[in-house]
Structure formats: C-alpha cells, structure tokens
C-alpha cells in the first residue's frame, strides 16, 4: 500500500506545482484513454492485475462525472460525484488492457460538467510492485500530428493511436532504432515493417491501433491523422533498480 500511495503522491505533487498554462493543458471536461499492452498481461492472472482511473476535481464546485466504455458490454457506465479538491479512484475491469499489434475497440470515455484531471494507472499486484501510468490529456489538448517518444529496456516498445472521431485516417511513419540489446522490427496486423515504412489504418471513435516492436526504439516516429487522435507511447516493461542516492 505504501508504494501505491507514493505513486499517487507523485502525480499529485506534479499536478499541484504545474504553471497555470500547463495545468490548463491537463484539465478539461472530456477525456479518452486506452490501456496499452503490459508485459505481465499474459504471464499473471487477472486477479493480480488492476486498472485504475484517478479523477481529481481541482475546483470549488462538486463535479458530476460519467465514465463510459467502448466495445465492453461487461463494464457498465459509472457515474460519480466528486467533491471540491478531492480525488476518486475508479477500478476498471482487467480486460480493458489491449493485447497484440492490431486494431482494438476497447477504450474509456470520461465526461464531466466541470474541469477535472484524469490519470490512468496500471498495477501488477502490491506484492510484485509493478506500475505504469499516464496523465491523460483532455480532448481540447489533442491534435492530429505527433512525434512518438518510446523507451525499450527489455521487451516491447509500444505505440498506440486512439481515435476520438469516426473516419480517422491514420498514418504512422516509422523511425526504428536499436534497443538496449539490439532488437527486431515493428509489426502490426501480422505484417513486419522497417525504418522509414508507413503504417496506415482507418479508425472510428473509440478504436485504436497498437504497434509493437521487440527491443527496438520507435522514438521519432511521426503520427498523422485526418481527425483528432490521442497517442500513447512507451515501453511495456522498464525497471527502476532503486530510488534515491
């Protein structure tokens, strides 16, 4: 429990001390997020894996929040009332975790009547102490063009593009560099790609495309879409050997 509280505190401190312009970039009334593949998804039981949303109300009014889900009938809509300057934790079903280099339909949509902040967190049991997370940008901070930053220490680099509108024509111009131990090539929909290749797909609202690359670096890959999209990138496993001096 101490470890998870430490992670929560880290997010809180980071958000509380952001300049006003930066805070406005992470606060909004509508968010969309999908959970990228994690290396433990296949290795451990669903009971050991947990997905959370931390939803914070930075204002002085109680906010009404609705959490909706795409392509997931087993997870009902969640309605929340969050008091001023409070945070609520929403526990999500484990099958929201995306698996494989292909098009997916599972994602999360968060709507509020006042501005909020949203963080998405993955936890692999308190005993194993493995975590991943991101501060989710509101829809007003999203765009059609991105450059990816990834890091691959041991396993996969992951690049995930999530459509916020129907009819998004997405292009990913790959830049592929070696990982720490060399590595393979990116793949998507049972096809392998090389540095300089372009991956294209059509996405509707709530759909995503997940590109994987084993022990190679996708930093510098360019994402362009005809409609506004959210992009998540990183590694599915990175180890921090110790904290502090």
The one-character DSSP state at 141 is: G
- Residue 3: predicted pLDDT: 35
Using the 3D structure, point to which of 121, 141, 161 is the last residue of a domain. 141
More confident residue, 210 or 94: 210
- Residue 82: predicted pLDDT: 97
- Residue 155: predicted pLDDT: 73
**pLDDT > 90? residue 10:** no
List of residues 6+ apart from 65 with CB closer than 8 A:
55, 79, 80, 81, 82, 88, 110, 111, 112, 116
Task: With cut-offs at 50, 70 and 90, classify the pLDDT of residue 163.
Answer: very high
- How many domains would you assign to the chain? 2
What is the average per-residue pLDDT within 209-227?
92
| Range with lowest mean pLDDT among 4-13, 45-54, 196-205 | 4-13
Classify residue 243: in a domain, yes or no. no
Do residue 130 and residue 148 come from a single domain? no
- Measured in Å, how far apart are the chain's first and last C-alpha atoms? 23
- Residue 235: predicted pLDDT: 73
Provide the domain limits for residue 76: 2-141
Please, are residues 5 and 89 in contact by the beta-carbon 8 Å criterion?
no
Do residue 115 and residue 172 come from a single domain? no
Do residue 173 and residue 115 come from a single domain? no
- Residue 117: predicted pLDDT: 96
């Amino acid at each position: 429990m101490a470890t998870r509280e430490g992670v929560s505190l880290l997010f809180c401190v980071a958000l509380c001390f952001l300049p006003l312009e930066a805070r406005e970039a992470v606060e909004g009334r509508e968010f969309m997020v999908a959970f990228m593949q994690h290396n433990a998804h296949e290795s451990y039981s669903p009971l050991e894996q947990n997905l959370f949303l931390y939803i914070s109300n930075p204002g002085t009014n109680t906010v009404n929040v609705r959490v909706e889900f795409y392509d997931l009938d087993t997870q009902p809509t969640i309605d929340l009332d969050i008091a001023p300057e409070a945070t609520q934790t929403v526990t999500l079903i484990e099958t929201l975790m995306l698996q494989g280099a292909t098009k997916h339909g599972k994602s999360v949509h968060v709507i509020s009547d006042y501005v909020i902040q949203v963080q998405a967190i993955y936890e692999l049991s308190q005993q194993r102490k493995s975590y991943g997370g991101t501060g989710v940008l509101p829809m007003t901070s999203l765009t059609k063009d991105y450059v990816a930053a990834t890091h691959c220490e041991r396993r996969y680099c992951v690049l995930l593009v999530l459509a916020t509108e129907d009819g998004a024509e997405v292009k990913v111009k790959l830049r592929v560099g070696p990982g720490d131990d060399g590595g393979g090539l990116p793949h998507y929909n049972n096809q392998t790609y090389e540095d300089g290749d372009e991956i294209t797909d059509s996405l509707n609202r709530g759909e995503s495309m997940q590109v994987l690359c084993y022990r190679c670096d996708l930093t510098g890959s360019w994402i362009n879409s005809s409609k506004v999209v959210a992009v998540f990138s990183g590694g599915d496993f990175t180890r921090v050997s110790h904290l502090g001096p």
